[in-house]
Amino acid sequence: MSKTFQLVGIGNAMVDVLSHCDDAFLAENGVEKGIMQLIDMDRGIALYERIGPATEMSGGSAANTIAGFAHLGGRAAYVGKVKDDQLGRIFVHDLRAQGVRYEVPLAPRSEAQETGRCIVLVTPDGERSMNTYLGVTEHLAPSDIDPAMMADAEWIFLEGYRFDGPESHEAFAKAIGAAKAAGGKVALTLSDPFCIERHHAAFARMIRDDVDLLFANRAEIEAMYGTEMDAALEAAADEVETVVCTESEHGAHIVRGSARVHCPAVPTEVVDATGAGDLFAAGFLWGMVGGHDLETCGMMGNIAASEVISHLGARVEADLIERFRAFGLKV
């Protein structure tokens, strides 16, 4: 009997606050370009006061993946904590409107912290520099994990960023245990080289013991294995069934056992790189659950990524199935 969910994602539930700026603004305000920095609420308020007019759109790395997977018609759920405030209701709406089943109860209004948000500063080159105030999403705990739901998922998809939350290590363990016991598989995205440095041992243990499908970009897999990309891919492939490494305009490298596939990127004018990796994972996973070969999965990932970087925001807008067909993929 097929499971209710093809994919259940667990990650940081965030609303993105997107604003344009130049490189000088990043430098003046101590924002490191192209990475994610965790900030506290005071820093968030101070930075927000300095940025220009902004646009608010639902984000969150795994949530972007899950929204893209649901957009493709996949049966998906998402677990991540928001508060019952205006931004929290926006976040839930945008996932549900995409066909995602949203499961974690809203943190009550009495909760002091607000729904998490990420100030995404987009420079003219399309690069994004992320400043994340986690808010209530920091506290995702084992009690937020429903084992029955995890057991009813073909894949669970874990967001590396969540390693920054101490209780989330346990939450991940609980989710993995329930999923694996029911024959489910585990995908992990490494998220960020600095997050890997902060929690290297925990990442290493999970990859070795539990992960079936690993997503990373070049900087992340190199940080994880302490060596350059090709050697890191080999090392990862010794531990994990399928390893996928994206390398921006150089496309995606996929390794499974002795098989190695390279999928060239889809040439695109980059408006906002936010969500590129997330949507790559959405397309790739959708290919996997559909039983496609690795090359097709990689192409689906690249096409999905190219759509999301062509406009502001980290959620897919155009019809991806149509795009898959335009590239000659059988869907």
User: Which of the stretches 79-87, 184-192, 219-227, 297-305 binds a second copy when contact is defined by CB under 8 A?
Assistant: 79-87
Q: Is residue 130 within 8 Å of 35, Cβ to Cβ?
A: yes
Q: Is residue 63 within 8 Å of 282, Cβ to Cβ?
A: no
Strand partners for 242: 213
Is position 87 an interface residue for a second copy (rule: CB under 8 A)? yes
Footprint of a second copy on residues 115-144 (CB under 8 A)?
A: 115
Is position 315 an interface residue for a second copy (rule: CB under 8 A)? yes
Minimum CB separation of residue 11 from a second copy in Å reads 17
Q: Nearest-CA neighbor of 264 among 237, 298, 230?
A: 298
Distance of CA 78 to the CA centre of its chain: 12
Euclidean distance between CA atoms 186 and 25, whole angstroms: 40
Is position 72 an interface residue for a second copy (rule: CB under 8 A)? no
User: Residue 259 or residue 318: which is nearer to a second copy going by CB?
Assistant: 318
Element (H, E) at 256: strand 252-256
Is position 309 an interface residue for a second copy (rule: CB under 8 A)? no
Is position 31 an interface residue for a second copy (rule: CB under 8 A)? no
What sections of 32-161 are H helices per DSSP? 41-50, 61-71, 86-97, 147-151
Is position 272 an interface residue for a second copy (rule: CB under 8 A)? no
- What would the two tokens of residue 327 be? 């590239």
Minimum CB separation of residue 88 from a second copy in Å reads 9
DSSP state of 163: G
User: Which of the stretches 3-11, 86-94, 200-208, 239-247 binds a second copy when contact is defined by CB under 8 A?
Assistant: 86-94
* Share in percent of the chain as helix, strand, coil (round to 5): 45, 20, 35
Euclidean distance between CA atoms 203 and 196, whole angstroms: 7
User: Residue 85 or residue 138: which is nearer to a second copy going by CB?
Assistant: 85
Q: Which of 313, 314, 320, 323 binds a second copy (CB under 8 A)?
A: 313
What sections of 82-151 are H helices per DSSP? 86-97, 147-151
Footprint of a second copy on residues 279-298 (CB under 8 A)?
A: none
Sign of CA dihedral 221, 223, 227, 229: positive
- Ramachandran angles phi, psi of 214, nearest 5°: -115, 125
Is position 278 an interface residue for a second copy (rule: CB under 8 A)? no
Is position 168 an interface residue for a second copy (rule: CB under 8 A)? no
Is position 164 an interface residue for a second copy (rule: CB under 8 A)? no
Euclidean distance between CA atoms 263 and 246, whole angstroms: 9
Distance of CA 289 to the CA centre of its chain: 18
Minimum CB separation of residue 30 from a second copy in Å reads 19
**How big is the site for a second copy, counted in residues (CB under 8 A)?**
25
User: Residue 89 or residue 200: which is nearer to a second copy going by CB?
Assistant: 89
Q: Which of 6, 98, 189, 246 binds a second copy (CB under 8 A)?
A: 98
User: Residue 52 or residue 328: which is nearer to a second copy going by CB?
Assistant: 52
What sections of 29-146 are H helices per DSSP? 41-50, 61-71, 86-97
DSSP state of 242: E
Is position 97 an interface residue for a second copy (rule: CB under 8 A)? yes
Is position 90 an interface residue for a second copy (rule: CB under 8 A)? yes
Contacts with a second copy, 43-62, as mask; x by CB under 8 A? -----xx-xxxxxxxx----
Minimum CB separation of residue 119 from a second copy in Å reads 11
Residue numbers at the binding site for a second copy (CB under 8 A): 20, 48-49, 51-58, 67, 85-87, 90, 93-94, 97-98, 114-115, 313, 315, 317
